[in-house]
Amino acid sequence: MNRRRIAVIGDRFMKPEAFVAVLAPLVGGEADLDSLELGWPDEPMRHGYVDGGLPGLKEYLGEPDAIVAFLDGAEILVNHLAPISGAMLERLPALKFIAVSRGGPVNIDLAACRRHGVAVVNAPGRNASAVAEFTIGAILAETRLIRAGHEALRRGVWRGDLYRADRTGSELSEMTVGLIGYSLIGTRVGKLLKPFGCRILVSDPYKSLDPADAADGVVQTGLDRLLAESDVVSLHARVTAETAGFLARAQFARMKPGAYFINTARGPMVDYEDLYQALKSRHLRGAMLETFWLEPPPPDAPLLQLDNVTLTPHIAGASTTTVKIAARMAAEEVRRYLAGEPPINPC
């Protein structure tokens, strides 16, 4: 009898051996495990929403022919960033199950998978803790002028003026923080913010406020009110047809003069030219940007030259804890598939 084959495609963050370490004890002698490592994050992923790319896919890495050759004969794929398109599925008749170790399986053509009878599961919330912690750090870096002081001192300039009353700002205990998006990351950011004593507003038309958050004084409201009343606006929504570019000139103009904007979510939801103008004019005092319209962004992009912006290269979810959580989630889904049990997180 032919043995079942499980193909593992990882990279230099989600290491293949991290998957194999948790898969091997679960599958035992039932299947053969083969692994492949791709070059991300040292090699940038493709962004289909910018450059077209493979039909139906957004963020991915890997050449289709090479991926198909590696997957030949595999029934199960445990995957992080490798693309699976409709055209590729035509060449992979044995493939029946894909476990994607990320929250948004945007490297997989889900419609094509349904047509070909390939089940897909994902790992929602795998990096929720990492991104939430990072967001708190981003808020503090901006509101407490950590970035401004750091950049000056690296140039040999002692910014004692940052202690002046007209340069410094208030503490979080006196601020209102608005969270756009109330899913796994947004809710965790809210919980981490509570000990600071800030007022918290939430805007999400598809989620209801958790009773515990309501009891703690968190307020759910519309986007316009959140923008108008928040000293810090932090984005935690998902990219959809509805949210693409939904934060633009009108929304930034509605924000309080001197407010801060934090984006640890995704770039396509923001009109970055309009954000640039809001920051350049000093209507917004500062921003912390973790994601961009194109990654990596052009090095000469004007937004990257502003002195009131903190920039990081899309690393909010990068932690070894995230790797362990994602690998365990994917391995459990494979175990359930092999045992004939229903998946936990079907797409």
For 252-291, the pLDDT digits (tens) are: 999 999 999 999 999 999 999 999 999 999 999 999 999 9
% helix / strand / coil in the chain, to the nearest 5?
Answer: 40, 20, 45
pLDDT digits (tens, 9 = 90+) for 72-107: 999 999 999 999 999 999 999 999 999 999 988 999
Computed over every residue of the chain, the mean pLDDT equals: 95
Alpha carbon distance 199, 190 (integer Å): 10
Query: Please, what's the largest Cα pairwise distance for the chain?
Result: 77
**295 catalytic per annotation:** yes
Q: Which of 12 and 28 is assigned the larger pLDDT?
A: 12
Residue 239 neighbours by CB distance under 10 Å:
20
pLDDT digits (tens, 9 = 90+) for 99-145: 999 988 999 999 999 999 999 999 999 999 999 999 999 999 999 99
| Cα dihedral 123→126→128→131 (10° resolution) | -120
Percentage, residues of the chain above pLDDT 70: 99
Q: Which of 266, 285, 328, 333 is catalytic?
A: 266
Closest CA to 282 of 167, 146, 176: 167
Helical residues (DSSP H) of the chain, grouped into ranges: 16-27, 48-51, 64-71, 86-90, 110-115, 128-143, 146-154, 184-193, 211-215, 223-229, 249-254, 272-280, 320-339
**Which residues on adjacent β-strands are paired with residue 287?**
261, 309
The torsion region of residue 253 among left (phi > 0), alpha (psi -120 to 50) and beta comes to: alpha
pLDDT tier, 1 (very low <50, low <70, confident <90, very high otherwise): very low
| Cα dihedral 132→138→140→145 (10° resolution) | 180
**Which residues on adjacent β-strands are paired with residue 176?**
199
pLDDT digits (tens, 9 = 90+) for 205-248: 999 999 999 999 999 999 999 999 999 999 999 988 999 999 99
Q: Which of 91, 273, 295, 336 is catalytic?
A: 295
Report whether 118 contacts 95 (CB < 8 A): yes
- DSSP state letter for 293: S
pLDDT digits (tens, 9 = 90+) for 312-324: 999 999 999 999 9
Rounded to 5°, angle at Cα 154 from 149 and 155:
100
Does residue 30 register a pLDDT over 90? no
Report whether 317 contacts 311 (CB < 8 A): no
| Average pLDDT of the residues in 53-80 | 94
Q: Which of 314, 328, 332, 333 is catalytic?
A: 314
Task: Give the phi and the psi of residue 17 in degrees, each rounded to 5.
Answer: -65, -25
Alpha carbon distance 78, 334 (integer Å): 8
- Retrieve residue 331's tokens: 């391995």
Q: Which of 56-60, 196-200, 209-213 has the lowest mean pLDDT?
A: 56-60
> What local confidence, expressed as pLDDT, does residue 341 receive?
97
- Retrieve residue 202's tokens: 């939430």
> What local confidence, expressed as pLDDT, does residue 27 receive?
85
Closest CA to 314 of 102, 74, 115: 102
- Retrieve residue 296's tokens: 């990596």
Alpha carbon distance 201, 285 (integer Å): 20
> What local confidence, expressed as pLDDT, does residue 2 receive?
65
